[in-house]
A and B are shown apart, each in its own frame.
Chain A
């Protein structure tokens, strides 16, 4: 029972982290209709920026905000400089470009910061909390992670569903030509989409790194799992991304704790295949467009 509880709590935290990452993917998909493979590498860069600040005694939360700001700028710059030239061409071009970007950022980070593992502090304790005499498998930092992800998710839902800006972003992604005719500054919306996505990615990076070790490859497992979580929930839906992340986190945690770590990737891919077979557009996607 104790193990079940601990594994479940651990799975929820892990799931929240996948969810944070899936949210960033979902955001970029909603606002630009491409899948960004460089998402993890971008988050890794912003996390390293935060770590450098922390190492020169900048308070944690200032570094946290700096990472978000850095993510925002990085996302905007990448959209303007690298993605913009291939916009309007086949979508695959942009996707392949993000793969290349992934490698470049990896290499650059290794050059600048080195490849060794480094400890990344957390703002609150990463020791298990205790109830009475028994310790339970969740840490204050784990709870913080869940709260932050919930806030980010709520923020995105509000942005897309209830604000004029969100509507314009969705419209630009959905049909740039028509939006332009209606007076939406499509280019700006795309830049903003990338910037916001990278900022959310930066939050995910900080949550993953806190109380853990980082090296230039530390986000790599999250590329795969974040995608699975996003596709699971339907790339279109922020709530779906979060639920997809939680399902994935819990499943992986149970499999690792009760069966064996080596089966975890297999299970993740199994879930992905199942979802794609049964509901190709994801669990929480809006009804597919009607064919006329």
Chain B
């Protein structure tokens, strides 16, 4: 009896090992069809991405892929890129890195994607970045502002960032505060990971002597921030810089009211979406303030902006997004949001890269194209990309804005810089880029 059991275990072990080996091999050796890459045929390109479609990170973020899909459908209906239609596979990782590894595996082995485009999240994407690079799969325009996607192309040659990284955002915020509020006593409210760390690094370049308190939170942990706000209050903080996600903006506002802490607030772009945060704040007032007016609760908060959003309906880019969204949104009733605009803007950059690459598309060629030509892509970004052989960092700047009635009023011109000691310069040149008449990258 025992022998049988042991035999069974051995058999299972051998089978498992064999199937694992087979699975490992499958990702690497894939004959390319007609000189093109995996996931690419004469008429299609298949890409994939992981997003939190469920779970606490889903509000807002789950809307990004719908923006991508709307733009790709628009492009496909207008003849595709070099005759190829773009097909995007979106998988839910619920913002859990373990799931991210699993769904990425599925996309590589089963869906056979050509590239990962816009996978979302710092902790989540970190779990798969090495896998993608080891397998030589392009990992384009990660939806996260962590430095690690772009500051070391030697280690991650296939990975590219897209939005401004948190360090330059921290620098731009830091310089603005130093110049305009030199007497402010600054408290930092940070997500306890790369997001908060990179932001703090940038802000400290200018504000080291002004920062009097640093408080952190763990995403998914306690949601009562009264102790943190009490600490700010007792240290006399009168300006809080928040590097946090949108729900935590609402939670920090609630906690501040609860302990009677009054301050000026400056949230990083990530955490300051007026529609989302305002809606949350309004819903706690027991119907006294309707959701549409919740945005007013954010009046006076400062943040940064690097692409035009829904609050600027007259912007040429926003007009284009609106047109595409009206025509191609799957559920007609849903509104265009800043998250969908983010998705469309990212998708636009990807289409641009495919266009610039030409008909002969391989995994290596797309990387080379972005390195060589990415810095000159004209798109919705207010500042140019920093793409080169030495840097895979995304958009190079942002402008500081103040929220008023849900709209962003610029306080500065576009400020452009890079990580480290690079100076911060005013540069509005990319902000005036207008979309081509066709709405398709040329």
Contact = CB atoms under 8 A, between A and B. Distances in A.
Contacts of A139: 258
A128 B221 contact: no
B222 A115 contact: no
Interface string B222-251: 111011101101110000000000010011
Contact of A137 (B216, B220, B259, B287): B259
B58 interface: yes
Contacts of B226: 6-7, 10, 13-14, 137, 253
Interface stretch (A24-32, A73-81, A95-103, A208-216): A208-216
B35 to A, nearest CB: 44
Contacts of B247: 117, 213
Contacts of A257: 227-228, 230-231
Given A121-B286, A137-B226, A212-B223, A126 B257 contact: yes
Nearest to A215: B56
B287 to A, nearest CB: 7
B415 interface: no
A117 B234 contact: no
Interface string B41-83: 0000000000000111011000000000000000000000000
A112 B410 CA distance: 41
Interface in A114-160: 115-122, 126-130, 134-137, 139, 142
Contacts of A254: 227
Contact of A57 (B55, B228, B287): B287
Contacts of A265: 221
B54 A6 contact: no
B110 interface: no
Given A115-B54, A128-B257, A137-B260, A121 B221 contact: no
A54 B251 CA distance: 21
A5 to B, nearest CB: 9
B123 to A, nearest CB: 15
Interface in A1-51: 2-3, 6-7, 10-11, 13-14
Tier of interface size on chain A: 35 or more
B65 to A, nearest CB: 16
Contacts of B282: 119
A211 B260 contact: no
A57 B287 CA distance: 8
A211 B223 contact: no
Interface string B389-426: 00000000000000000000000000000000000000
A290 interface: no
B333 interface: no
B284 A121 contact: yes
Contacts of B215: 261
A253 B55 contact: no
Given A117-B280, A137-B226, A60 B286 contact: yes
Contacts of B217: 261
A54 B227 contact: no
26 contacts: A3-B234, A7-B231, A54-B286, A117-B59, A117-B280, A119-B250, A120-B284, A121-B283, A122-B284, A126-B258, A126-B284, A127-B257, A134-B260, A137-B258, A137-B259, A211-B254, A213-B247, A213-B254, A217-B55, A221-B222, A257-B227, A261-B216, A261-B228, A262-B218, A264-B222, A265-B221
Interface of B: 54-56, 58-59, 192, 215-218, 220-224, 226-228, 230-231, 233-235, 247, 250-251, 254, 257-261, 280-287
Given A115-B54, A116-B58, A260-B216, 7 more contacts: A6-B234, A7-B226, A119-B284, A122-B286, A137-B258, A139-B258, A257-B227
